[in-house]
């Protein structure tokens, strides 16, 4: 659901995902792309692409932190090579 929101309303999606600085940057990007998007229409897709990628990267970071915390708490999985 957050991906759809990030694609359709990029700054709102970023704010709801907990990324206020990315949302502000996305607003600046929207203004820039609206001005130059009149000549190069593909630029109108850039703010949405930025928001979707930022949401994906934030979710991957959260997943990584959870995995590291689990390994620290319970130890590595069985059969994991120790060097």
| In the chain, domain spans | 2-74
Tokens of 3: 């991906």
Instruction: Work out the pLDDT band at 19, boundaries 50, 70, 90.
Output: very high
Determine the pLDDT at residue 78: 84
pLDDT given for residue 80 in this prediction = 80
Least-confidence region, from 27-31, 64-68, 71-75? 71-75
Kindly tell me if the per-residue pLDDT of 24 is higher than 90.
yes
Task: Report which secondary-structure segment, H or E, holds 15.
Answer: helix 10-16
pLDDT of 12 higher than 80:
yes
DSSP three-state, residue 81:
coil
Q: Residue 6 in contact with residue 48, Cβ under 8 Å?
A: yes
Please identify which residue in the block is written with the tokens 């590291």: 68
Residues composing the chain: 83
Q: What's the number of CA atoms in the CB half-sphere (13 Å) around residue 48?
A: 11
Three-state SS at 23: helix
The answer to whether residue 48 scores a pLDDT higher than 80 is yes
């Amino acid at each position: 659901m957050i991906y759809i929101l990030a694609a359709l309303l990029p700054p709102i999606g970023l704010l709801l995902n907990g990324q206020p600085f990315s949302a502000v940057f996305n607003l600046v990007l929207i203004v820039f792309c609206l001005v130059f998007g009149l000549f190069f229409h593909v630029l109108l897709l850039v703010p949405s692409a930025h928001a979707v990628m930022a949401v994906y990267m934030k979710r991957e970071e959260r997943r990584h932190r959870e995995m590291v915390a689990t390994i620290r708490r319970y130890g590595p999985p069985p059969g994991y090579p120790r060097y």
